[in-house]
Amino acid sequence: MHLLDAVPLINALILGLSIASIWLIAALGLTIIYGTVGVINMAHGEFIMVGAYTSYALQSSIGLPFLLCLPASFAVVALVGLVIERGLIRYLYNRPLDTLLATWGVSLVLMQGVRLIFGSDPKYIAVPQIFQDNLAFGPFGLSVFRLVVIAITAAVVAATAWLFYRTRFGMQVRAVMQNKEMAASFGIDADRVYMITFAIGAGLAGLAGSLFGVLAIVLPTMGTAYVVQAFLVVVVGGGSLVGSVAAAGLTGELQSVFALFSNDTFARFLLYVLIVVFLRFRPRGLFAVAKARR
């Protein structure tokens, strides 16, 4: 095979990596909230949306540089998550169906609330000129901003893994996940663990929203566009961090390669069909989390 024939495929793989990083960062907060707290957070897409609006608001009002908008969005949405957890979710931990309904309600409130404050017209987040360039190595290319997203996703995944597998807090989280009663019997406050984890998960959604506001336009309904992919990644991965990384990588690359031979829409259709077939044979995903909590 001539080298030039491989160029489109390699470009598709590079784009696939970019798609994977976007889906992964969209799914990261959902993963740790589902994997740890056991709550299926229907408001995840709206946490992403609120993150995008936070960045937009801070940029347009006080002119905060984009790179500082990222941690600011994390902090603001983490706080929103904290309030929602303390005010609502914590009363529903033993009632999974009710959390589904309650978080869906939260998503509607957030969407309408943002619409009331900011209106329904699209907003834009500006980035430094350098992020708008395209990077090219011979026939291979990718926009600088997509590279930034890949780098930030990698850094955030590494930081999350460090938090959960290398710190005392992470040990508390993993102890609560395995056996809540035993964790409590040895001095671990499961309530506090859930609260902090939920806030971190919400914050990660906010950070993702800040990035997505640059990739696309900022709208009150933008969350729904990402939340489907986020749920797919979590379900295919099985709810663990390593599962989500693997699932995002796999589905992102497949989407990109399928699109090479057809188009985006058909590629997505094909991917969804494959996922349905996959879940038929592995209903608990690639890496299932053991459930022993009460």
Interface positions with another protein (CB under 8 A): 168, 171-172, 174-175, 178-179, 181-190, 290
250 three-state secondary structure: helix
Nearer to another protein, 94 or 134 (CB): 94
Torsion from C-alpha of 263, 264, 268, 271, nearest 10 degrees: 60
By beta-carbon proximity to another protein, the closer residue of 136 and 290 is 290
Instruction: Please give the single-letter amino acid code of residue 95.
Output: R
CB of residue 183 to another protein, shortest distance in Å: 7
DSSP-derived secondary structure for 149-202: HHHHHHHHHHHHHHHHHHSHHHHHHHHHHH-HHHHHHTT--HHHHHHHHHHHHH
Nearer to another protein, 2 or 168 (CB): 168
Gyration radius from the chain CA atoms: 19
Kindly tell me which of 98 and 181 has the beta carbon lying closer to another protein: 181
Q: Which amino acid is at 25?
A: I
The number of CA neighbours under 13 Å toward the Cβ of 258 is 18
Residues in the chain: 294
Q: At what angle do helices 190-215 and 7-32 cross, to 10 degrees?
A: 150
| Closest by CA position to 282, among listed 229, 230, 246 | 246
Helix 264-281 vs helix 222-237: crossing angle, to nearest 10: 40
Nearer to another protein, 78 or 289 (CB): 289
Interatomic CA distance for residues 17 and 251, integer angstroms? 10
Tell the smallest beta-carbon distance from residue 32 to another protein (Å): 17
Q: Which is nearer to another protein, 10 or 292 (CB)?
A: 292
- Cβ closest to another protein, residue 100 vs residue 163: 163
